Every structure is written in C-alpha cells, then in structure tokens.
Structure 1
C-alpha cells in the first residue's frame, strides 16, 4: 500500500504562497457535492480557486490525497455524543443518524470510502469517541470494536443504498416519490398476493419518510440486540 498523506511529511510551500489546504478542501467539497466525483480534477479546482495547478500541488500532491482529506473532513462532521450526557443508547442513535445524514449530504462518499483506510485526525477522533460511547454500554475488548463496527456497518450500508436510489431518481429527472411509485406499480404486476399487500402498504407513502423510518427501525433493532448481548 502506498504511503498515506497522513504519514507522509508535507512539502514546504513557497513563502509567497497564499493558498491554504483548508481553502482547497472547502472548494473541492462544494464541487463534489454538486457534481460528484466526475466533476473533480486538480486543474478544474485550481481554476475555481483562481490559482495555478502548481499551487494546489504544493498542498495536495495527488487527487487521491485530496480524496483522503475530503473523507476525513466528513468524519469531522459526525456527532458522537458523550455517554455521560446522552447515555450510551441515545448516543448510539444520535451517532447513527448523524453518520447517515453525512453520507446522504455527501452522496459521492460511498464510491470512495471503501477504497482506502481512514486514518486522518478526524477519523481517529471519531473512533476514539465511539469506543468511549460503546464502552459505556459495557462492551470490552474485541466485542467493543465489533459493537461499534456493527452500528457503522449497518448505517453506512443502509445510507449507501439510499444514496444509490436517490442518484437514480436524480438522473431520471422525476421525483423520488414518482420513481418509487412506478417501481411499485411494476412490482405489483408480477408479485404474489403477499407481496402485493406489501406493495400496497408502501404505494402511497412519501419515500423520504419511509427511508427515515426504515433506518430507525433497523438501528433500534440492532441496538436491542447489542443491549441484550452485553447484559448476558
């Protein structure tokens, strides 16, 4: 594996250089949130910042380095409550919802977050706070790692699937509810009676609400299981 931007010694920018890494990351984040990964290039980003590409390379040598910086910036947006204030279970719920919201807000994240390890300062801080949170539930040792990992895996997997659906509808030019209605109509045409009943329950519902309720149901069920496990 190649050396990470987090372990590599940064190059010294010329004294006259006024562009900062923070400016680069902020502009790149805005670009990706609007245009996705296809809209990002170092030269295009330099033009938006009114700088030469060489100026960016002093701070961010490669596009992969920039992606690493952006991912870590997102980890810094996620709320991991203090269990002394929220309690471990309410804290875990807030953590899950905050993580889901970040993935939806930055819809390009699922395309890159599994392709590299997260070891930036925000990722490390999130991990440390998460271990404190789940440690307050009574988990220790490897079970502590697995408990936190289970909530993260559920949340990231569910949110990534939701993002994929939202991207399909965005590209189709119809609303999320219209797209879902058409899908359900086609499913109804080929389903058996049990599935038709399930389709009918969902046919007239707002899909945003369904996504939120479904996610909360699953997260609550997962926490029920973790709570039972740690008590036994």
Structure 2
C-alpha cells in the first residue's frame, strides 16, 4: 500500500513535557556548551515548547540547576551493602566521583559551585558517612570526615575539569614564559600526571582520616 501524496502527513506527536525531560535537556546543553549556553529560551527551543512552559514544571532556573546536579550525581554507583573494606570502597566511590569531572567537566564545574540539596546528593553524602562509620568512626566524626574528603574531591575534580576544558596549544611564547618561570615543570604537567598525583593524594587523605579515628 502506497501513501497518498494528496493527504497531509501527520506530525509526529510531541513527547509530554516533564521535569525529567527538562533536566535531561539542560544537562546535555551544559555538558556540550557550558553554563553560559543555558537559558529558558534555549531549553524551550530544544524541547519545542514555549519558554513559560518550563516554569510549569520547574519553579525557576535555580531549580533546573539543582536537577542538573542531581542528574550528574545519579551517574555515580553507590555502595549497595555494608562495607567489609571501607578504605577500598571509599577509594572506589571517590574515583568514580573524579571520573564525573573527567567525563562531564562543564557540568561538574556547575555542581561544585552549588550547595547540594537534592535527594541524590544526600544519598551520596550518606554513602560516604556510612563508609567512615563502617571503619569505626562515630556518626559526628564520620560526617566530618566525609566533608573533609568531599572538599578534597571538589578541588581535585575542578582541577581535572579545568584540564579537560583547556583546549588547544597555548603557543610558543606562552611555553617560553612558563619555562622561564619554572624550568622543566611544564613538560611534567600532563593530564596523566595530574590524574596520578590526585589519585595519590586521595589515598593520603583517606588514610589520614581513617588513621585519625584509630588514634581517638
């Protein structure tokens, strides 16, 4: 059976607008182009809706940013059982967090600049606290340790994101200036070396926090 060219084609039905669709579209825009590219108008164009329709599902753009953070953190696998090896599991969880900076640098920069107030963010915090508790820390100390570790991860992840977002060769003149300031340092400053050094630092921080609880 052939289509009758005289009959108008039916337009494909649009997917219903939802907060989840808005969050996913916002995430993809920021991932590809950075926060500066995100606006209600850009979201509306992407979702093929009116800009005001966005606010029927998300109260404001600040809420959309929270949803972006939640979407990023949902990519991180959390422990699903009581840990028998807290150090190993803390390293695994922390390395997974740093991987988010490597894979989604634009979104990561947004995430670490905001206060986390979403369920997924609190689940991540609770996972870290629970691991320190499994290592013998009381709840208050476990929360303090999780915050200290989180501060390190935020800085380390920002460093990785910065490397990912710095495109292109800075040029011969810039190289000369850097070499004059610190001979041989530039050649050692590679992404691979940065990632290895940050991973070493991660182990140092976790070991120090775990050892501190043993001395209490």
Cα RMSD over matched residues?
2.6
Q: Distance in 2 between matches of 1:227 and 1:181?
A: 46
2:196 matched residue in structure 1: 213
Q: Deviations over 1:68-110 (max 9, x none)?
A: 1111222222233256456111111111111111133332345
Divergent runs of 4+, >4 A: 178-185
Q: Does structure 2 retain, via aligned residues, the 8 Å contact 1:83–1:133?
A: no
Matched, 1:45 2:43: yes
Choose which of 52, 74, 86 in structure 2 pairs with 1:88. Answer: 86
In the TM superposition, what is the alpha-carbon distance from 1:58 to its structure 2 partner?
Answer: 0.6
Counting matched residue pairs gives 201
Matches within 5 A, 1:19-98: 19-82=17-80, 84=82, 87-98=85-96
1:203 matched residue in structure 2: 187
Q: Does structure 2 retain, via aligned residues, the 8 Å contact 1:82–1:91?
A: no
Matches within 5 A, 1:96-135: 96-109=94-107, 111-113=109-111, 116-135=114-133
* Residue 142 to residue 187, structure 1, CA distance change in 2 (3 Å): same
Q: Deviations over 1:21-54 (max 9, x none)?
A: 1111111111110010111111111111111123
TM-score by length of 1: 0.76
Unaligned runs of 5+ in 1: 1-16
TM-score by length of 2: 0.81
Matched, 1:142 2:133: no
Greater RCO, 1 or 2 (C-alpha within 8 Å, sep 6+): 2
Q: Does structure 1 retain, via aligned residues, the 8 Å contact 2:98–2:157?
A: yes
Q: Distance in 2 between matches of 1:203 and 1:109?
A: 29
1:189 matched residue in structure 2: 180
Unaligned runs of 5+ in 2: 1-14
1:59 is paired with a residue of what secondary structure?
A: coil
For the pair shown, the structure with the greater C-alpha radius of gyration is 2
Q: Does structure 2 retain, via aligned residues, the 8 Å contact 1:80–1:91?
A: no
